[in-house]
């Protein structure tokens, strides 16, 4: 049963705890605290209170009628995590972990962020729960995502630009880990996806599984059956794992993770870790990585900063090998097209990350019958991305005009 | 056959000396200079040399070693080139204990045993892998013991007694005690907990395995402090990289390294 992993901290051969010894006691403490509170009705009640009253759960499962008719295939439903407080699924995890940290008596919370979504999610959870938040963010991302930096600061978090390495998400994680090593006795590291050493991939999956559980129940109520396919984008893999997990043992439900194909896999400029990666160790876990032939982790590319990560959650690596989930990639161009299509047809501006999933779902729907049902996790809203999309479309148009002029 | 690391510690114990372990990033500032730096440190009195094989994501390293590793990678230093450097050092120093310090992924990419076997051919006596705790050690320990290589495990001031016992049992060559809560990088001073940790680890290690203390050590006074608490050796990294990055000329830098190692070695001799 795939749903019973991790076993001894591993998803098959993936996962584990490849961490400096200084962190071992902290990770053990976290493991036992999580075991305790996971099954504690009071903790669950409190978390459920914040998820519903504060963050707005359950989120709707919306039938995208116009999109479905436009594509002309299977019915497409959208799981509206974009309507969750904070604007993305990240809040499910940040509320869960921040509450856990509070129970553990940790007052200082650190986190990493790429585009800033997880940083914002951490900052708001810490604000409402009365904790101190410090967020590491690659210096390049700080430049690219100024608005989110200001949002985090408004919410009371301190943002540390990271100048090391490639100055992006992976280096922000490195720096957060280094901070954690130096302040291990007082600090809680609130990781933003199903990555890192055990128990993080399991714990973040559990907190995000509220997505899949709701989908299952809502689908039963709406259609009296399970969906035929569940599609979600994969950066580190948390919204996908949260969507997939409750369906792992429902063999008839096809599970599709969609990575960022960037300029195309062949170009080498992408972040499709499962499609093009190889096994290795990064950020405390054994998993698929984008790396060179000598084991140096590579810089990745995606138009969506949230998918721009050279690793992936170890549970996805297991699901790939077991062929329980299939993994595809959508390119920058395809994601932008889906972004525009959904905005026009449904009046919903999706984040660029789930735009990758929408693009793939549209292809998939065409191959399936009209009675089939696809659920796409719309992991976040696109307000943060409008500038990027505008610049992208402007430069495309300029390119076209130049061609015409010739 | 006893490997060079154990032999060196035996020899030092018999002379009532602490081991001076010196770390150099392979290929920083360039391959030739890093090799000359190793020679200078040995001339000054280094007992054991640690060759850092640069990795893109060194989570246990502070700004000094990060920057040096990054610079080496930018200049195209590969694990293979780092091992060739080891091979060349080995030719000139047949008895010098040589350790490779890097991160798990560098080995995993090639295959743990295959990488270790190749490193051994190049004259490496053992490995230090700061992101490999006892839980994940199986494959690494097996390969190392099959090849007769040391696998040096790290312990930290907050390591529990149960874990420490496991680490003492697993480590070979010596036990690397991390002096502080933190990453590598030279420090001005140490707190009492560091000395408590040394005493505690020495008590558990009994006389089975030497204990060397590293992270932040920079002055002879630091060494006397660690030795006073019972350390069998000290490991110096960032302070050496600092000298290498700050000197105005190569000649001056190499001379500074000799003098630095000399003064540090003196403190190792009581
Ligand atoms: C809206 C949105 N979706 C998806 C992701 C990717 O993360 P994950 O794969 O962990 O869900 C992000 C990350 O920032 C995000 O902001």
Domain boundaries, chain B: 4-265
CB B246 within 8 A of CB B228: no
Element (H, E) at A108: strand A108-113
- The average pLDDT across B143-168 equals 97
**A134-159 confidence digits (pLDDT tens):** 999 999 899 888 889 999 999 999 99
Q: Confidence class of residue A313 from pLDDT cuts 50, 70 and 90?
A: very high
CA distance A112 to A200: 14
Which pLDDT value is given to residue A405?
A: 58
- The average pLDDT across A378-398 equals 93
Q: Has residue B234 got a pLDDT over 90?
A: yes
Contact B105 A280 (CB under 8 A): yes
Q: Candidates A87, A94, A117, A283: which one to mutate for ligand 1, based on the most atoms within 8 Å of Cβ?
A: A117
Atom 15 of ligand 1: nearest residue by CA position:
A306
**A296-310 confidence digits (pLDDT tens):** 999 999 999 899 999
Strand partners for B234: B20, B213
Q: Has residue B100 got a pLDDT over 80?
A: yes
Tokens (6 digits) for A188: 């809680």
Q: Has residue A250 got a pLDDT over 90?
A: yes
Q: Has residue A403 got a pLDDT over 70?
A: no
Q: A294: distance to nearest CA of chain B, Å?
A: 6
Closest ligand 1 atom number to CA of residue A380: 1
- The average pLDDT across A348-376 equals 98
Q: Has residue A175 got a pLDDT over 80?
A: yes
**A112-142 confidence digits (pLDDT tens):** 999 899 999 999 999 999 999 999 999 989 9
**A96-106 confidence digits (pLDDT tens):** 999 999 999 99
CB A64 within 8 A of CB A343: no
Which pLDDT value is given to residue A399?
A: 82
Looking at the annotation, which residues of A are catalytic?
90, 112, 379
Does ligand 1 come within 6 angstroms of the Cβ of A111?
Answer: no
**B109-140 confidence digits (pLDDT tens):** 999 999 999 999 999 999 999 999 999 999 99
Dihedral sign for Cα B103, B106, B107, B108, please: positive
Does ligand 1 come within 6 angstroms of the Cβ of A239?
Answer: yes
- The average pLDDT across A183-206 equals 97
Q: Confidence class of residue A245 from pLDDT cuts 50, 70 and 90?
A: very high
Centre of ligand 1 to C-alpha A111, Å, is: 15
Q: Has residue B34 got a pLDDT over 60?
A: yes
Q: Has residue B270 got a pLDDT over 90?
A: no
Contact A282 B105 (CB under 8 A): yes
Tokens (6 digits) for B205: 């290690």
Does ligand 1 come within 6 angstroms of the Cβ of A88?
Answer: yes
CA–CA distances in Å: residue A121 to residues A89, A113, A147, B73, B165: 9, 10, 14, 35, 41
Looking at the annotation, which residues of B are catalytic?
50, 61
**Neighboring chain A residues of B133 at a CB cutoff of 8 Å:** 17-21, 24
Centre of ligand 1 to C-alpha A346, Å, is: 21
Side by side, the strands of the sheet bearing A187-189 are: A158-162, A132-138, A108-113, A187-189
**B102-111 confidence digits (pLDDT tens):** 999 999 999 9
**A16-33 confidence digits (pLDDT tens):** 999 999 999 999 999 999
Contact A20 B154 (CB under 8 A): yes
Angle separating helix axes A117-129 and A146-154, nearest 10 degrees: 10
Tokens (6 digits) for B118: 């190749």
Determine how β-strand A132-138 pairs with β-strand A158-162: parallel
**A219-230 confidence digits (pLDDT tens):** 999 999 999 999
Residue A280 contacts B, CB cutoff 8 Å: yes
Under DSSP, is residue A261 helix (H, G, I), strand (E, B) or coil? strand
- The average pLDDT across B233-246 equals 97
Q: What is the mean pLDDT of chain A?
A: 96
Q: Confidence class of residue B251 from pLDDT cuts 50, 70 and 90?
A: very high
Does ligand 1 come within 6 angstroms of the Cβ of A193?
Answer: yes
Strand partners for A331: A262
Residues in chain A: 406
Residue A165 contacts B, CB cutoff 8 Å: yes
Which pLDDT value is given to residue A401?
A: 73
Q: What is the mean pLDDT of chain B?
A: 96
Q: Has residue A263 got a pLDDT over 60?
A: yes
Q: Where are the alpha helices (DSSP H) in A277-368?
A: 314-321, 332-346, 352-367
User: Model pTM?
Assistant: 0.97
Percent of chain A residues past pLDDT 90, beyond the cut? 93
Which pLDDT value is given to residue A160?
A: 98
Which pLDDT value is given to residue A229?
A: 98
CA distance B132 to B126: 14
Which pLDDT value is given to residue A146?
A: 87
Q: Has residue A406 got a pLDDT over 60?
A: no
- The average pLDDT across B193-201 equals 97
Dihedral sign for Cα B75, B80, B83, B87, please: negative
Which pLDDT value is given to residue B186?
A: 78
Q: How many CB pairs under 8 A join A and B?
A: 114
Question: Of A79, A354, A378, which Cα lies nearest the Cα of A212?
Answer: A79
Residue A160 contacts B, CB cutoff 8 Å: no
B interface with A, Cβ–Cβ below 8 Å: 55-60, 62-63, 66-67, 70, 73, 78-80, 103-110, 130-133, 135-136, 153-156, 158-160, 163, 167, 178, 181-183
Q: A280: distance to nearest CA of chain B, Å?
A: 6
Q: What is the ipTM of this complex?
A: 0.96
- Considering CB atoms only, which of B78, B133, B155 is closest to A17? B133
Q: Has residue B231 got a pLDDT over 90?
A: yes
**A75-102 confidence digits (pLDDT tens):** 999 999 999 999 999 999 999 999 999 9
Element (H, E) at A188: strand A187-189
Residue A50 contacts B, CB cutoff 8 Å: no
Q: Confidence class of residue A318 from pLDDT cuts 50, 70 and 90?
A: very high
Dihedral sign for Cα A316, A319, A323, A325, please: negative
- Residue the block writes with tokens 């009371």: A156
Centre of ligand 1 to C-alpha A208, Å, is: 12
CA distance A292 to A139: 24
CATH topology classification for B4-265: TIM Barrel (3.20.20)
Which pLDDT value is given to residue B188?
A: 85
Q: E strands along A277-378, which residues?
A: 278-282, 285-289, 325-331, 373-378
């Amino acid at each position: 049963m795939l749903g019973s992993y991790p076993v001894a901290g591993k998803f098959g051969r993936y996962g584990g705890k490849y961490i400096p010894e200084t962190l071992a006691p902290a990770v053990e403490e976290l493991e036992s605290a999580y075991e305790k509170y996971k099954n504690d009705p009071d903790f669950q009640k409190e978390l459920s209170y914040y998820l519903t009253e504060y963050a707005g759960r359950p989120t709707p499962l919306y039938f995208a009628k116009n999109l479905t008719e436009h594509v002309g295939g299977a019915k497409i439903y959208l799981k509206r995590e974009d309507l969750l407080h904070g604007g993305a699924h990240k809040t499910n995890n940040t509320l869960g972990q921040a509450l856990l940290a509070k129970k553990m008596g940790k007052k200082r919370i650190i986190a990493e962020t790429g585009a800033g979504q997880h940083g914002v999610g951490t900052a708001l959870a810490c604000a409402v729960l009365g904790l101190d938040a410090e967020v590491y963010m690659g210096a390049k991302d700080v430049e690219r995502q100024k608005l989110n930096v200001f949002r985090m600061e408004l919410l009371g978090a301190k943002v540390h630009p990271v100048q090391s390495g490639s100055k992006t998400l992976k280096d922000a994680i490195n720096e957060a880990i280094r901070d954690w090593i130096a302040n291990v006795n007082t600090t809680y590291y609130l990781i933003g996806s199903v990555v890192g050493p055990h128990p993080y991939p399991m714990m973040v999956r559990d907190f995000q599984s509220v997505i899949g559980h709701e989908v299952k129940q809502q689908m039963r109520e709406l259609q009296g059956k399970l969906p035929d396919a569940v599609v979600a984008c994969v950066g580190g893999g948390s919204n996908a794992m949260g969507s997939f997990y409750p369906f792992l043992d429902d063999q008839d439900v096809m599970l599709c993770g969609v990575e960022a194909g960037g300029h195309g896999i062949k170009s080498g400029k992408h972040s499709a870790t499962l499609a093009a990666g190889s096994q290795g160790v990064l950020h405390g876990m054994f998993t698929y990585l984008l790396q060179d032939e000598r084991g140096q982790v590579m810089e990745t590319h995606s138009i969506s900063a949230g998918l721009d990560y050279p690793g992936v959650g170890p549970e996805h690596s297991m699901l790939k090998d077991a062929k329980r989930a299939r993994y595809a990639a959508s390119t920058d161009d395809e994601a932008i097209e889906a972004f525009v299509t959904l905005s026009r047809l449904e009046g919903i501006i999706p984040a660029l990350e789930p735009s990758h999933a929408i693009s793939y779902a549209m292809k998939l729907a065409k191959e399936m019958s009209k009675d089939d049902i696809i659920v796409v996790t719309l992991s976040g809203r696109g307000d943060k991305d409008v500038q990027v999309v505008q610049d992208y479309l402007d430069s495309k148009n300029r390119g076209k005009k130049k061609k015409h002029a010739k | 056959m006893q490997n060079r690391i154990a032999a060196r510690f035996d020899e030092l114990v018999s002379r009532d000396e602490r081991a001076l372990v010196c770390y150099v990033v392979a290929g920083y500032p360039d391959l030739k200079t890093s090799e000359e730096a190793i020679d200078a440190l040995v001339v000054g009195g280094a007992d054991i040399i640690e060759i850092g094989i640069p990795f893109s994501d060194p989570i246990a390293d502070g700004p000094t070693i990060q920057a040096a590793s990054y610079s080496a990678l930018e200049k195209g230093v590969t694990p293979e080139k780092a091992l060739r450097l080891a091979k060349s050092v080995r030719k000139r120093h047949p008895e010098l204990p040589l350790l490779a310090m890097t991160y798990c992924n560098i080995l995993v990419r090639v295959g743990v045993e295959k990488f270790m076997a190749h490193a051994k051919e190049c004259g490496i006596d053992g490995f230090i892998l700061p992101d490999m705790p006892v839980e994940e050690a199986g494959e690494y320990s097996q390969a190392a013991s099959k090849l007769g290589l040391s696998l040096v495990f790290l312990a930290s001031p907050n390591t529990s007694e149960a874990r420490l016992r496991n680490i003492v049992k697993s480590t070979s060559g010596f036990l690397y005690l991390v002096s502080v809560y933190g990453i590598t990088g030279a420090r001005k001073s140490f707190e009492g907990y560091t000395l408590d940790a040394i005493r505690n680890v020495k008590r558990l290690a009994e006389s089975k395995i030497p204990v060397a203390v590293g992270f932040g050590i920079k002055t002879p006074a630091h060494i006397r402090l660690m030795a006073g608490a019972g350390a069998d050796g000290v490991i110096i990294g960032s302070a050496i990289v600092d000298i290498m990055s700050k000197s105005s000329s190569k000649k001056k830098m190499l001379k500074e390294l000799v003098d630095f190692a000399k003064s540090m070695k003196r403190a190792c001799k009581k």
